[in-house]
Amino acid sequence: MDFKLEIASAIAAAANLDKNEVYLNIETPPDKKMGDYAFPCFRLAKTLRKAPPLIAQEISSKIEKPDFISEIKVQSAYLNFFTDKSVFAEKVISKVIAEKENYGRSTEGNGKTVVIDYSSPNIAKPFHVGHLRSTVIGNSLYKIYEFMGYKCVGINHLGDWGTQFGKLISAYKRWGSKEAVEKDGISELMRIYVKFHEEAEKEPSLNDEARAWFKKMQDGDKEALSLWKWFHDMSMKEFNRIYDVLGVKFDAFTGESFYNDKMAAVVDELKEKKLLKKSNGAEIVDLEEADMPPCLIIRSDGGTLYATRDIAAAFYRKKTYNFDKCLYVTAVDQNLHFAQWFKVIEKMGYPWSKDLVHVPFGLVSLPDGKLSTRRGKVVLMEELLKEAVNKTRNIIEDKNPELPDKEKVARQVGIGAVIFDDLYNGRIKDVVFSWDKMLNFEGETGPYVQYTNARACSILRKAENINFENIDYTSLTDGASVDVCRLLDIFSDKVCDAASKYEPSIVSRYLVDLSQAFNKFYHDNPILSAEKEVCKARLAVVKSVSTVIKAGLSLLGIQAPEQM
């Protein structure tokens, strides 16, 4: 039973309102003394031409109380609904037990496709903590939308083209060697790339040399493309190793170079539609009417830009996947870039431009300033993940040395801690990287949620052969039990909310709330030592919590070990 829907139906019938609109306005009161559900009447004042408290009184007098509601109270402009606690517990727990890992799923996205562009590191540069946010936010949104029935397409739009490759080739020819690159991989490419920028500050003509090498790449020069391909393949090998550790997958690796032969058609169409204008030798689309700077399409030297490639990529994705929504998970400092080329597609006359969504996130910086690959100021992702696993392994050796599969659990908990820490932050919030914070397992963290699930699994293992039929739900009316049931009931709402706001932190914070409520339930209510029927009812709560925690962690891209 959808309690909100039943309440919405009763209100709609009593007040002659649209049921779906009522449903959208039903709230969960911040204080449980105010009820389990509340309907505010403020919005009705304009149409009914009455004071909101009076409207609430009138609806209350006409409403037919659903059988699972014990009381309806009018408090100012609110209709507050109090559920019959045993009926409420029965409806929630029996649904979780019956639906198992499918609990909370929806069919909202059936027949719809979402394309998600995320991670997108630059080839020949190390995968560092600055790439973590796009990777884990995008991966989580993929899983959330999939859970809601959407067909998802995950794309890694690799930074694999541009002048930086001219710089790298120039640096390799001057200071690199095949042996050093084969031995040290991306770290050697990083070393010579940093050296290039140091030397170019003293000798600016190096930048002309770099541009010349990139021009050779564009013109199909065999040596230039051979070096580029070598750097590309070596980078992918290292990136995939990190993606495997993080448990992140993509449906396509179509980087910037993939769209080289697709940009001419975009430029031709812009010319045909008379949208291109000359400006200081370059070609632009004027966006003054949208109160934005012009969108640069072709540079004065004839080269294309990020915007040109992104527009070509959007057309390719629309044609290939016919998406209903295309998300771009990139840093907040790219807001203007996306707003500009989204507007260009709109000006070209394509209504699907409204389905392009930039999902910005705050920047990651180091305590002493911004990350910079050019200056070698980064924290390598591989280094962070290894440190997280090592720290977890040390804790296991100290607290539970007999734990089976110690190495596997150390990986699940260590990597989970890193992912959860990132996804617990509001997406738009800037983050200052801190080893201590990232690897702190106390408080509102991934390991805390994982441990709560492991505790639930331990109780269920000790109980053995549990039969969840004919449960006496009257033993689940105490405050701690009801609080857990309330949270279990809103899992699907939280997932939908996370999808609509592109905000995985809604799921991670929900999991912390559920874990805290469960640990209070565990503290307040004896389970295995309780009388048989009470024990069975409480075990049903334990099973339900474990089911939802596992599902929630999975939506974040985190595993749930059953022993810790």
Report the catalytic residues: 125, 128, 131
Residue 372: what pLDDT? 57
Residue 334: what pLDDT? 95
Nearest to 492 by CA among 106, 8, 143: 106
Residue 486: what pLDDT? 92
What strands, in cross-sheet order, belong to the sheet with 78-83?
37-40, 78-83, 69-75
Residue 263: what pLDDT? 93
Strand partners of residue 185? none
How buried is 28 (Cβ within 10 angstroms: 0-12 exposed, 13-18 middle, 19+ buried)?
middle
Strand partners of residue 117? 155, 328
Question: Which residue stretches of the chain have pLDDT < 70?
Answer: 1, 366, 368-378, 438-439
Nearest to 560 by CA among 457, 453, 402, 424: 453
Q: Which two tokens stand for residue 374?
A: 């050019």
What one-character DSSP code corresponds to residue 477?
Answer: -
Q: Which helix (H) or strand (E) holds 256?
A: none
- pTM of model > 0.85: yes
Q: What is the pLDDT of residues 192-215, one digit of tens each?
A: 999 999 999 999 999 999 999 998
Q: What is the pLDDT of residues 29-38, one digit of tens each?
A: 988 889 989 9
What one-character DSSP code corresponds to residue 47?
Answer: H
Q: What is the pLDDT of residues 426-445, one digit of tens each?
A: 999 988 877 777 667 778 99
Q: Give the class (CATH, top level) of 3-83.
A: alpha beta
CA 5 – CA 181 distance, rounded (Å): 62
Residue 163: what pLDDT? 87
Specify whether the backbone of 399 is left (phi greater than 0), alpha (psi in -120 to 50) or beta: alpha
Contact 305, 299 (CB under 8 A): yes
Q: Write down the CATH superfamily of domain 117-262+302-370.
A: HUPs (3.40.50.620)
Q: For residues 257-288, b (16+ Cβ closer than 10 Å) or e, as one string?
A: bbbeeebeebbeebeeeebbeeeeebbbbebe
* Strand ranges inside 22-95, DSSP E: 37-40, 69-75, 78-83
Q: What is the pLDDT of residues 59-72, one digit of tens each?
A: 999 999 988 899 99
Residues of the chain with CATH 3.30.1360.70: 3-83
Residue 95: what pLDDT? 95
Interior angle at CA 54, CA 50 and CA 59, nearest 5? 105
Q: What percentage of the chain exceeds 70 in pLDDT?
A: 97
Per-chain mean pLDDT for the chain: 93
Q: Which two tokens stand for residue 385?
A: 């993940």
Residue 330: what pLDDT? 96
| Residue 195 dihedral angles phi and psi, to the nearest 5° | -60, -40
Contact 171, 149 (CB under 8 A): no
CA 412 – CA 414 distance, rounded (Å): 6
CA 56 – CA 35 distance, rounded (Å): 15
Q: Which two tokens stand for residue 158?
A: 């690799």
Nearest to 528 by CA among 460, 455, 478, 451: 460
Q: What is the pLDDT of residues 383-395, one digit of tens each?
A: 889 988 998 999 9
Residue 307, SS3?
helix
Residue 134: what pLDDT? 96
CA 27 – CA 25 distance, rounded (Å): 6
Residues of the chain with CATH 3.40.50.620: 117-262+302-370
Instruction: State the pairing for strand pair 325-331/431-432.
Output: unpaired
Nearest to 383 by CA among 122, 119, 126, 123: 126
| Residue 71 dihedral angles phi and psi, to the nearest 5° | -160, 145
Residue 247: what pLDDT? 96
CA 290 – CA 341 distance, rounded (Å): 12
